[in-house]
Structure 1
Amino acid sequence: MKVLFVCLGNICRSPAAEGVFRTVAGAEHDIDSAGTADWHVGKPPYGPMREAASARGIDLSDLRARQVSGSDFDRFDLIIGMDGSNLADIERLRPTGSATPVHLFTDYAPQSGMSEVPDPYYTRDFDGALDLIEACADGLARALAER
């Protein structure tokens, strides 16, 4: 299964989701992340997010931001957005006839009571974001295992 995680800038939530899901799901899935905006293309994940992830044993240091594109609908089997704005931006890129599923990450952790993964770049709650990302990643791994 090829899974793409998407947030706004690809420096906090989506690279964290990529790193966490690689840890949870292992090598059986092809995993990547991207942002809807191009502000940080080529840059590593945001320092405070890298530090918070590293404290949990998740290494994000090799990741670099890129922008999501219409061709990602052909490359990936599932695209996961972190919030409703991300989903709307992703859907605007959807090529005609593409049936690639696009879901909110929090769909995989309904017990969290959260409808979106808050952006820690603005909230400054990197640990809280990682807690939610880990819950969502566990739920996604279970959902993919049941397929």
Structure 2
Amino acid sequence: MKIMFVCLGNICRSPTAHGIAIKLIRDSQLNQVTVTSSGTASYHVGSPPDKRATEYALSKGVDLSVLRAQQLQKADFYEQDLILVMDQSNYENALALRPADATAKIEKLLWYYPNCPFEDVPDPYYGENEGFAQVFHLCEVAITHLLEDISKTR
């Protein structure tokens, strides 16, 4: 299964989810699952993740340093099995870009977080460091449940 995490610029939320997923996949030995991430906008293409996201993730044992921002492309809707977006705006943007015959499913990441108090993963970019901790927690819980679901069906 191929999964792509998507946010706006691919420097905060989606690379955090990407890094968490890599670690959880490695830890659970779900070798049939591969992950990547992208943004719906091209603002940061080629840039590393936000320093605050990188520092917080590293404090939790997740290395984001090798990731670089890329933009969501029409080809991704054929190459990926599941595209998980961070918020309603990304969801609408992904649906608008998705070709009519695309094979990838588009869902919100937090649909995998049981009884989540939020509909969207909030964008921490303009906020303080606490926002990056919140994003990490939301992504970690949702991805843990996603991978549990995948392991049950494989």
Q: TM-score range by the shorter chain?
A: over 0.9
Q: SS at 2:125's partner residue?
A: helix
Deviation at 1:112, TM superposition (A): 2.4
- Alignment correspondent of 2:122: 118
| Partner Cα separation in structure 2 for residue 56 and residue 111 of structure 1 | 24
Alignment of 1:45-124 (within 5 A): 45-124=49-128
5+ long unaligned stretches in structure 2: none
Q: Which amino acid is the alignment partner of residue 87 of structure 1?
A: Y
Q: SS at 2:126's partner residue?
A: helix
| Partner Cα separation in structure 1 for residue 53 and residue 72 of structure 2 | 20
- Alignment correspondent of 1:128: 134
| Partner Cα separation in structure 2 for residue 113 and residue 8 of structure 1 | 21
Correspondent of 1:140 among 131, 136, 146 = 146
CA offset digits 1:92-141 (Å, max 9, x no partner) = 11112224211100000032221110011133311111111111111111
- Alignment correspondent of 1:4: 4
Q: Which amino acid is the alignment partner of residue 16 of structure 1?
A: T
- Alignment correspondent of 1:22: 22
| Partner Cα separation in structure 1 for residue 3 and residue 126 of structure 2 | 26
| Partner Cα separation in structure 1 for residue 119 and residue 91 of structure 2 | 12
Deviation at 1:82, TM superposition (A): 0.3
Deviation at 1:25, TM superposition (A): 1.7
- Alignment correspondent of 2:38: 34
- Percent identity between matched residues is 39
| Partner Cα separation in structure 2 for residue 122 and residue 99 of structure 1 | 34
Runs of 4+ in 1 over 2 A off after TM superposition: none
When normalised by structure 1's length, the TM-score is: 0.96
Q: Which moved more, 1:20-29 or 1:88-97?
A: 20-29
Q: Which amino acid is the alignment partner of residue 145 of structure 1?
A: S
CA offset digits 1:39-66 (Å, max 9, x no partner) = 0000000000000000001000000000
